[in-house]
Structure 1
């Protein structure tokens, strides 16, 4: 992996804890089958090129999360119409359907996914914006592509941390994707995603971090009981109210940080995370902007 790409100190061994209450095996298996079925339906819809109403996409997104046994709570104002940059903290593969339940949007994906057999073609047809994360020279073209999508009235989802975190930790927001919003004069909508237990307290069961496999993460989620996904849609931020992309990224990160639970974390001796003080949004070392700053997470490749 390029030294310029962000990474989290979180690991499934040190940071991820399954629920103390585990669903019965038949129920977990039924949830797993339901999630796979819903995803396959989405793939088939993409394959035949059907364009579904936004309300249907929102409903499908909620069904994917609920099928996994996770309850959904969405609060805050409804996102505006027109070009909109949706930015959120990144914890799990569940973040993607959760953001789809807020407003259907175009996602960012690593460019190498385009070459994947079958999947690459399906992802391309879904309206995904491909980015080259580790090519600095490609950054202006990628920012321009995102800006064009925003000017065309599309919503674009980005996870500016550039990596998934366990939920007890949070990374800094990278700046480049915010330049696209400034260029397109498009509003920025921060979204805070949290996973909690119904009885209270943060849950790291949905986290998809480190060397975790997707199947292992999905099974851990469908096996857990009492997990709630809380999606807080924060007030819209106008790019014109901020001096530059650094200031805009900082404002978005401030809106997303959960002061009580999501603070800057650093690796501890055991390879996990320990608390620190919230830090401002900053760029990479030497001040160089890279494709990683656009916020395509290395886990799923889509963010």
Structure 2
């Protein structure tokens, strides 16, 4: 089932880049053991989360999520965002990012702990589910559409009360070499709550600098399969680009606000979006062929290749890779409607 709150993406196994450097089986087993130990430690320290407030609580939660990254051998590389990291607790903001992997939410909370708008299924995931539940997530049941307006109201109230809330407005995972459009419904919560929007751009690289889609959680694979693939990678670097915040009132409506946030992410990653190509109607002869003299851009019903400029004069900036915006199967973590 696919609808505005449950988008899909075309990314799958075919999007995965070739194998990068890997670690041996003993190291993989050790990484899983460390991750399980982190979760057990998080459960044991849960009573402290009920007592601690402010920076003390933030430090504990941040330590837990950073330990998850270290247990899987992931290095965090943060660019920008000094003002965000130093902002006082109690200042609400909607934090949005491009969505590639289950590692995304771990990285965001390793940077600065916050609540998340997450699909209800995440609560049952191994490792991550426990941490997300403890973090005070707002859960979204996209199979019960009548509950969604109430969830958006809860989100707006959380923002208004001073919470940082993480949302992935693409609504589903992409491979990272391509990306989806930012849907708009959750941006209305930021407008209603009178809070800024903080875009964050994520990218995965190998130790030699090559961009990789190996950590992505796409297609029909299980979470366990994705965990195993990440645990096998050597020298994985997760780049976090913290973009300037978008102040309340800068955008006139939620669509404009979503567009500003999406543009910030693409700017940080050096990507450009290819606008949808308009199909050109081709006159035909009675035999079905194109009429002589008819302007032919692309055949009727044909789709121009991604990154091309068929009939529209649209290209990409030199050295930039296109960001794909179609929506056709992946693993949504957060959903929102446009």
Give me the TM-score of the superposition, normalised by structure 2: 0.73
State whether structure 2 residue 172 is matched by structure 1 residue 163.
yes
For the residues of structure 2 that align with 1:37 and 1:275, how far apart are their CA atoms? Answer: 45
Larger radius of gyration: 2
Gaps of at least 5 residues in structure 2 are 277-304, 309-315, 317-321
For the residues of structure 2 that align with 1:223 and 1:48, how far apart are their CA atoms? Answer: 33
Q: Give yes or no for contact 1:84–1:188 (8 Å, CA) kept in 2.
A: yes
Q: Give yes or no for contact 1:58–1:104 (8 Å, CA) kept in 2.
A: yes
The residue that corresponds to 1:139 in the other structure is 148
State whether structure 2 residue 240 is matched by structure 1 residue 231.
yes
Q: Say which structure is richer in strand.
A: 1
2:79 counterpart (70, 75, 82): 75
SS of corresponding position for 2:249: helix
What displacement does 1:63 show? Answer: 1.5
Q: Give yes or no for contact 1:167–1:204 (8 Å, CA) kept in 2.
A: yes
State whether structure 2 residue 160 is matched by structure 1 residue 151.
yes
Q: Give yes or no for contact 2:203–2:240 (8 Å, CA) kept in 1.
A: yes
- Shift in alpha-carbon separation, 1:65–1:91, aligned structure 2, 3 A: same
Matches within 5 A, 1:198-237: 198-237=207-246
The residue that corresponds to 1:192 in the other structure is 201
The residue that corresponds to 2:11 in the other structure is 10
For the residues of structure 2 that align with 1:26 and 1:120, how far apart are their CA atoms? Answer: 25
State whether structure 2 residue 63 is matched by structure 1 residue 59.
yes
2:111 counterpart (76, 85, 102): 102
SS of corresponding position for 2:220: coil
What displacement does 1:209 show? Answer: 0.6
Q: Give yes or no for contact 2:271–2:323 (8 Å, CA) kept in 1.
A: no
The residue that corresponds to 2:249 in the other structure is 240
Give me the TM-score of the superposition, normalised by structure 1: 0.81
Partner deviation per Cα, 1:105-156 (whole Å, 9 max, x = no partner): 111123466799xx99986554111223244443332221111101111110
Matches within 5 A, 1:102-121: 102-111=111-120
Q: Give yes or no for contact 1:2–1:134 (8 Å, CA) kept in 2.
A: no
For the residues of structure 2 that align with 1:281 and 1:265, how far apart are their CA atoms? Answer: 8
Measured on the aligned residues, the alpha-carbon RMSD in Å equals: 3.3
User: What is the total number of aligned residue pairs between the two structures?
Assistant: 281
SS of corresponding position for 1:108: strand
For the residues of structure 2 that align with 1:22 and 1:115, how far apart are their CA atoms? Answer: 29
The residue that corresponds to 2:285 in the other structure is none
Q: Which has the higher contact order (CA 8 A, sep 6+)?
A: 1
